Amino acid sequence: MSENVVNRMKDPCQPSFQQEQASMQEELFQVVKREREAAAKHLKAPPPREETCTDPEKPKSAQLNAEMYQLSSQQFHEAATKAESAIRPCRVEPVCSGLQAQILRCYRDHLSEVLRCSDLVKAYQHCVSAHKG
């Protein structure tokens, strides 16, 4: 059981709303980044060539298609830039890390007597409560 407590202290699996929000923002930021890179790669590739035909409307249609492709690509990049700026990840700084390290050290030193660490745990709880906002 004390090893379980130590593991929970090492990796706090009870993220706060802010941590979850920051994680989600980071994930969205990465998705937008990948999509943008894929679009840029696609933009660099030349548009597919069409077979030559004697139909007089064919070149005009190809030109309009190329213009629409460029416009769509530009609009995508503008939307991606706007979305990217809106979901920049915020960094969450750990609080009470000094007390957390002391608790971990105490648990390691007193594996069979974890109650010796209760004062540190109480101090840690008060510290975390004081930083909630």
Domain residue ranges of the chain, discontinuous segments joined by +: 14-91, 93-133
* 120 pLDDT more than 90: yes
Token representation of residue 24:
């989600």
* Burial of 117 from C-beta contacts in 10 A (0-12 / 13-18 / 19+): buried
Q: Which residues of 46-65 are buried (b: 16+ CB within 10 A; e: fewer)?
A: eeeeeeeeeeeeeeeeeeee
Mean pLDDT of 5-32: 67
- Structure pTM? 0.35
pLDDT at residue 133 greater than cutoff 70 = no
Q: Please give the pLDDT value at position 33.
A: 82
Q: Which two tokens stand for residue 35?
A: 């999509």
Q: What is the pLDDT of residue 22?
A: 75
pLDDT interval class at 94 (50, 70, 90): confident
